[in-house]
Structure 1
Amino acid sequence: MLERTPKSPPQIAPLPADTNQPEWSVMIPAYNCIHYLRKTIESVLAQALDAKQMQIEVIDDFSTDSDVEALVNELGKGRIGFFKQPRNVGSLRNFETCINRAKGKFVHILHGDDLVKPGFYQEIGGLFESHPEAGAAFTGCSDIDENDKWLWDSEQILKEPGIIDNWVLKIAEGQLLQTPCIVVRREVYEKLGSFFAVHYGEDWEMWTRIAANYPVAYSPRKLAYYRVHSNNITGNSLTTGQNIKDISAVINIIQNYLPADKRKALKTRARMNYAIYIGILSDRIYHTQNNPKAALMQVTYAFKLHPSKRTLYRFVKILTKILIRYKNKPQQE
Structure 2
Amino acid sequence: MIPTYNCANYLAQTLESVLSQDPGPEQMQIEVVDDCSTKDDPEAVVREIGKGRVSFYRQPQNVGAICNFNTCVQRSIGQFVHILHGDDFVAPDFYSSYAEVLQLHPDATLIISPSISIDENNRHIHIESPLANKNGVIIDFPKIQAVKNTIHTPTAVVPRRVYEEIGGYYLPLSHTADWEMFFRAGLYGKAVTLDRQVAYYRVHSASDTSRLALTGKNIWEAKYTVDMCMHQLPEKVRAEIVKNKYSHIAGLAHYFYSELAKKEMWKSSLIHAGWNLRLSPRKYALKVYLIAVARYILYGAFKFDRQLLKLKKDIPTAS
- TM-score, normalised on structure 2? 0.83
1:257 aligns with 2:236: no
1:31 aligns with 2:5: yes
Shift of 1:170: 2.1
Aligned length: 297
Shift of 1:78: 0.7
Output one character per residue of 1:136-159: Cα deviation in whole Å (capped at 9) or x when no partner.
111111222333332223343136
Change (3 A) 1:156 1:317: farther
1:49 aligns with 2:27: no
Aligned to 1:3: none
Partners of 2:152 and 2:141 in 1: CA distance: 15
Shift of 1:81: 0.9
Indicate the SS of the match to 2:114: strand
1:169 aligns with 2:136: no
Aligned to 1:214: 189
Match of 1:246 among 206, 217, 221: 221
Aligned to 1:226: 201
The answer to whether the Cα contact below 8 Å between 1:161 and 1:218 also exists between their aligned partners in 2 is no
Q: Which moved more, 1:237-246 or 1:121-130?
A: 237-246
Shift of 1:312: 4.9
Change (3 A) 1:163 1:258: same
Indicate the SS of the match to 2:87: coil
Aligned to 1:95: 69
Partners of 1:46 and 1:314 in 2: CA distance: 51
Q: Which moved more, 1:141-150 or 1:195-204?
A: 141-150
Q: Which moved more, 1:89-98 or 1:166-175?
A: 166-175
Partners of 1:219 and 1:248 in 2: CA distance: 29
Indicate the SS of the match to 2:194: strand
Partners of 2:273 and 2:10 in 1: CA distance: 30
1:292 aligns with 2:265: yes
Indicate the SS of the match to 2:81: strand
Change (3 A) 1:250 1:39: same
Shift of 1:89: 0.6
Q: Which moved more, 1:311-320 or 1:162-171?
A: 311-320
Change (3 A) 1:77 1:163: same
Partners of 2:70 and 2:37 in 1: CA distance: 17
Aligned to 2:168: 194
Which structure's residues are more often helix, by fraction? 2
Aligned to 1:150: 124
Output one character per residue of 1:102-152: Cα deviation in whole Å (capped at 9) or x when no partner.
111110011112221221111111111111111111111122233333222
The answer to whether the Cα contact below 8 Å between 2:111 and 2:156 also exists between their aligned partners in 1 is yes
Q: Which amino acid aligns with 1:207?
A: F
Shift of 1:54: 1.1
Partners of 2:134 and 2:234 in 1: CA distance: 27
The answer to whether the Cα contact below 8 Å between 2:132 and 2:139 also exists between their aligned partners in 1 is no
Shift of 1:230: 4.0
Aligned to 1:273: 248
Change (3 A) 1:49 1:307: farther
Partners of 1:277 and 1:155 in 2: CA distance: 20
The answer to whether the Cα contact below 8 Å between 1:57 and 1:83 also exists between their aligned partners in 2 is yes
Percent identity between matched residues is: 35
Unpaired runs of 5+ residues, structure 2, are 301-319
Partners of 1:304 and 1:313 in 2: CA distance: 13
1:205 aligns with 2:180: yes
Q: Which amino acid aligns with 2:104?
A: S
Q: Which moved more, 1:107-116 or 1:315-324?
A: 315-324
Aligned to 1:128: 102
The answer to whether the Cα contact below 8 Å between 1:285 and 1:295 also exists between their aligned partners in 2 is yes
Output one character per residue of 1:269-324: Cα deviation in whole Å (capped at 9) or x when no partner.
2311121134235545566xx46344443343233232235645665787788879
Partners of 2:283 and 2:92 in 1: CA distance: 44
Indicate the SS of the match to 2:97: helix
1:106 aligns with 2:80: yes
